[in-house]
């Protein structure tokens, strides 16, 4: 029988013994990412947080970059679901997707800050994000064709332009970005919607020099 001075087993160790270590690690990582940049994420610190040995994490993740890729994959999957469920704006379906995109990024910063970092795109990690990321892009392309009757090559070019612009808006207005606090959330969404509408319907230069 243990002596009265024996400390109780930490409650944080339960996820591991109940077989939920993988989910516990992701949850702990998201909590860190809610206040820190991805570079601050440490497997050793996460192991301490969930109450297991550092080596136990390698049962579920090859290394830190795979953990980041798994989180990014969850983020892209959630974004795809949000885009598919997005109602059209009064300006059209593309504008509605733009509004949904910015709202998603602002509501889920822990995911969004990981979804586009270089480590996630490495060949050994890309499988975690590929299907959902491509699904987001295809959804935007389909909306462009629906709104403006564009051919697939035209829709692809404009989808690249719109996504790049939306990502720029999100990054500039992030709490570490140079435009943080300069506009209200509603204004940010409205700007994204109007720009997406313009890019969807404006005259588009041809491929000739």
- Point out the least confidently predicted range of 18-22, 35-39, 132-136, 150-154: 18-22
* Per-residue pLDDT at 8: 39
Per-residue confidence band for 206, with pLDDT thresholds at 50, 70 and 90: low
* Per-residue pLDDT at 131: 97
What is this structure's pTM? 0.84
Please check the confidence at residue 1 and state whether its pLDDT lies above 90: no
- Point out the least confidently predicted range of 46-50, 70-74, 78-82: 46-50
- 174-to-24, 69, 107, 191 alpha-carbon distances in Å: 27, 21, 11, 15
pLDDT averaged over the chain? 86
* Tens digits of residue pLDDT in 53-66: 877 777 788 899 99
- 80 with 37: CB under 8 angstroms? no
Please state the CATH superfamily assignment of the domain spanning residues 63-201 in this structure.
Tetracycline Repressor, domain 2 (1.10.357.10)
* Per-residue pLDDT at 91: 83
The CATH 1.10.357.10 domain(s) of the chain lie at 63-201
Per-residue confidence band for 44, with pLDDT thresholds at 50, 70 and 90: confident
* Per-residue pLDDT at 4: 41
The CATH 1.10.10 domain(s) of the chain lie at 11-61
* Per-residue pLDDT at 209: 39
Rounded Cα distance, 56 and 42, in Å:
14
Which CATH architecture does the domain made up of 11-61 adopt?
Orthogonal Bundle (1.10)
Please check the confidence at residue 10 and state whether its pLDDT lies above 70: no
Dihedral angle sign, alpha carbons of residues 58, 64, 68, 73? negative
Greater confidence (129 vs 60) lies with: 129
* Tens digits of residue pLDDT in 99-122: 999 999 999 999 999 999 999 999
Contacts of 173 (CB under 8 A, 6+ apart): 179, 180, 182, 183, 188
What does the buried/exposed string (b/e) look like for 173-209 if buried means 16 or more CB atoms within 10 Å of the residue's CB? Answer: bbeeeeeeeeeeeeebbbbbbebbbebbbeeeeeeee
């Amino acid at each position: 029988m243990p002596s009265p001075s024996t400390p109780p087993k930490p409650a944080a160790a339960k996820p591991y013994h109940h077989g939920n270590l993988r989910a516990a690690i992701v949850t702990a990582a998201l909590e860190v990412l809610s206040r820190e940049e991805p570079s601050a994420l440490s497997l050793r610190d996460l192991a301490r947080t969930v109450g297991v040995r550092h080596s136990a994490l390698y049962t579920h993740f090859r290394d830190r970059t795979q953990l980041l890729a798994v989180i990014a994959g969850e983020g892209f999957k959630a974004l795809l679901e949000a885009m598919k469920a997005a109602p059209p704006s009064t300006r059209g379906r593309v504008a509605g997707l733009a509004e949904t995109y910015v709202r998603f990024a602002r509501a889920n910063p822990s995911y969004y800050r990981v979804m586009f970092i270089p480590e996630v795109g490495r060949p050994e990690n890309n499988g975690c994000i590929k299907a959902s990321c491509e699904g987001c892009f295809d959804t935007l392309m389909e909306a462009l064709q629906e709104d403006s009757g564009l051919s697939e090559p035209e829709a692809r070019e404009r989808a690249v332009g719109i996504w790049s612009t939306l990502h720029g808006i999100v990054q500039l207005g992030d709490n570490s970005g140079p435009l943080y606090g300069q506009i209200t959330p509603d204004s940010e969404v409205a700007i994204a919607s109007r720009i997406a509408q313009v890019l969807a319907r404006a005259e588009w230069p041809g491929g000739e020099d």
